Amino acid sequence: MNHHPDIHRHLHAARAAELRAQARAWELRRTAGAGDPVRSGASLRARLGWLLVEAGLRLLHSPAPPHPAEG
Tell me whether residue 5 is in a domain: no
Count the neighbouring beta carbons within 10 Å of the beta carbon of residue 57.
14
pLDDT digits (tens, 9 = 90+) for 20-48: 888 888 888 877 765 555 555 567 888 88
pTM above 0.85, yes or no: no
Tell me whether residue 67 is in a domain: no
Tell me whether residue 64 is in a domain: no
Q: Structural domain tally of the chain?
A: 1
Q: Number of helices (H) and strands (E), helices first, in the chain?
A: 2, 0
Tell me whether residue 55 is in a domain: yes
At residue 12, the pLDDT reads 86
Tell me whether residue 45 is in a domain: yes
* Structural domain span for residue 32: 10-59
**Closest Cα partner for 30 from 22, 60, 58?**
22
Tell me whether residue 65 is in a domain: no
